């Protein structure tokens, strides 16, 4: 019994330690891909898919919490925003209202902002560049797209009509944010289908900023990391 308790006590530190390793960047990427491209699009099929989508996003935010848990200066701020985001998401499952949407969006935005910072620190830290860090850079790219999606969602909630989009998308955009995930990815990759367009001047500025980041990020950070990873492998031979 005592041995089992000691093993249980050691599991949590090992779990926290995992999120400080480079391997966690690959897991983070898998979580984000599953959330963005599988769970989010099928949320309309059943309420259970929406719950799983919220669960996976909360898991990604908690992963960032475990990564930062040893940084005393940011610990309590990070805990507050992550717990706030999870509580608002849980409340949105059983109730509805504009204040819930705004609160959920704000807390999730701040949580994602912190997570972007955490992943960037792991990706850009000193040492040999591995495939895990390259996957982490891809995860960071997706996190930035999600960050802008929540900004767009908040803008539409606070200033209705900030975006021009098909009428049947309006309710889905405000309730699930799936439309803004789509718009953000399309903007970041500068595809620009034109089915959703920014109308408000400030929102257009955000769209231009995201498009610039979407072009410069792969050309600067990703290309640099891939080059360093190739040099690391060559030096190990």
CA 162 from centroid of its chain's CA atoms: 23
97 phi and psi, to 5 degrees? 160, 150
Closest to 51 in 3D by CA, of 90, 17, 82, 4:
90
Contact 131, 229 (CB under 8 A): yes
Give the CB-side neighbour count of residue 183, counting CA atoms within 13 A: 30
| All structural domains of the chain | 2-236 (1.10.287.70)
> In sequence order, which ranges of 125-222 are alpha helices (DSSP H)?
131-158, 170-175, 178-188, 201-217
> What angle (nearest 5°) sits at the alpha carbon of residue 210, between those of residues 150 and 37?
55
Burial (CB < 10 A; 0-12, 13-18, 19+), residue 223, is exposed
Place of tokens 């807390």: 107
pLDDT in tens, 155-190: 888 888 889 887 666 555 554 567 888 899 999 998
Above 70 in pLDDT, residue 50? no
Q: Return the percentage of the chain with pLDDT > 90, whole number.
A: 15
User: Cα separation of 51 and 44, whole Å?
Assistant: 11
For position 2, what pLDDT does the model report?
A: 46
Taking residues 205-231, what's their average pLDDT?
86
Contact 151, 187 (CB under 8 A): no
- Which two structure tokens, joined as six digits, stand for 119? 């992943």
Above 80 in pLDDT, residue 71? no
Residues contacting 95, CB < 8 A, separation 6+: none
Confidence of residue 1 (pLDDT cuts 50, 70, 90): very low
Above 60 in pLDDT, residue 60? yes
Judged by DSSP in three states, 96 sits in: coil
Query: Regarding predicted confidence, which is higher, 51 or 27?
Result: 27
Above 80 in pLDDT, residue 106? yes
For position 138, what pLDDT does the model report?
A: 92
Confidence of residue 237 (pLDDT cuts 50, 70, 90): low
Global confidence as pTM: 0.82
For position 200, what pLDDT does the model report?
A: 92
């Amino acid at each position: 019994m005592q041995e089992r308790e000691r093993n249980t006590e050691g599991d949590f530190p090992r779990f926290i330690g995992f999120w400080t390793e480079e391997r966690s960047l690959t897991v983070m990427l898998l979580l984000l891909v599953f959330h963005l491209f599988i769970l989010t699009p099928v949320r309309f099929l059943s309420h259970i898919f929406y719950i799983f989508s919220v669960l996976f996003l909360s898991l990604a935010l908690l992963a960032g919490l475990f990564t930062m848990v040893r940084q005393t200066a940011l610990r309590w701020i990070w805990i507050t925003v992550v717990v706030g985001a999870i509580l608002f998401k849980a409340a949105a499952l059983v109730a509805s209202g504009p204040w819930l949407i705004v609160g959920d969006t704000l807390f999730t935005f701040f949580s994602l902002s912190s997570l972007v910072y955490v992943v960037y620190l792991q990706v850009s830290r000193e040492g040999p560049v591995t495939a895990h860090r390259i996957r982490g850079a891809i995860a960071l790219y997706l996190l930035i797209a999600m960050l802008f999606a929540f900004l767009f969602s908040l803008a539409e909630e606070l200033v209705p009509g900030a975006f021009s989009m098909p009428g049947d998308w309006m309710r889905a955009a405000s309730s699930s944010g799936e439309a803004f995930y789509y718009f953000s990815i399309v903007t970041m990759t500068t595809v620009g289908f034109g089915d959703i367009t920014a109308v408000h001047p400030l929102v257009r500025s955000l769209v231009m900023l995201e498009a610039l980041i979407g072009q410069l990020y792969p050309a600067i950070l990703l290309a640099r990391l891939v080059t360093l990873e190739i040099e690391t492998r060559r030096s190990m031979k």
